[in-house]
Amino acid sequence: MAITEGAPQWVEKNRHEYTTEDNKKANLDNVATDFFTRRWTRICSARKLVSDRGPD
């Protein structure tokens, strides 16, 4: 693997080394994950409710 000068590189940081920008990005990742998790949970619980009711 060749690394050219000026190319972005992944650098692992400890949590206490995070900058404000790093914290914002981490928070946005958590918000997006939380949104999709909650949406999937609502869809699954609605499907379960319908299937538990059964035919009338």
Residue with tokens 């790093």: 22
On whether residue 52 sits in a domain, the answer given is yes
On whether residue 55 sits in a domain, the answer given is yes
pLDDT tens across 10-26, in order?
778 888 888 888 888 88
On whether residue 1 sits in a domain, the answer given is no
Total tally of structural domains belonging to the chain: 1
Q: 31: buried, middle or exposed (CB in 10 Å: 19+, 13-18, 0-12)?
A: exposed
pTM of this structure: 0.39
Name the more confident of 7 and 2. 7
pLDDT band at 2 (very low <50, low <70, confident <90, very high): low
Q: Give the domain range for residue 29.
A: 25-56
On whether residue 10 sits in a domain, the answer given is no
Beta-strand ranges (E) seen in 1-56 are none
On whether residue 19 sits in a domain, the answer given is no
Q: Which two tokens stand for residue 11?
A: 């650098």
- Taking CA atoms, 49 is separated from 13, 17, 22, in Å, by 44, 46, 41
Positive or negative, the Cα torsion across 38, 40, 41, 46? positive
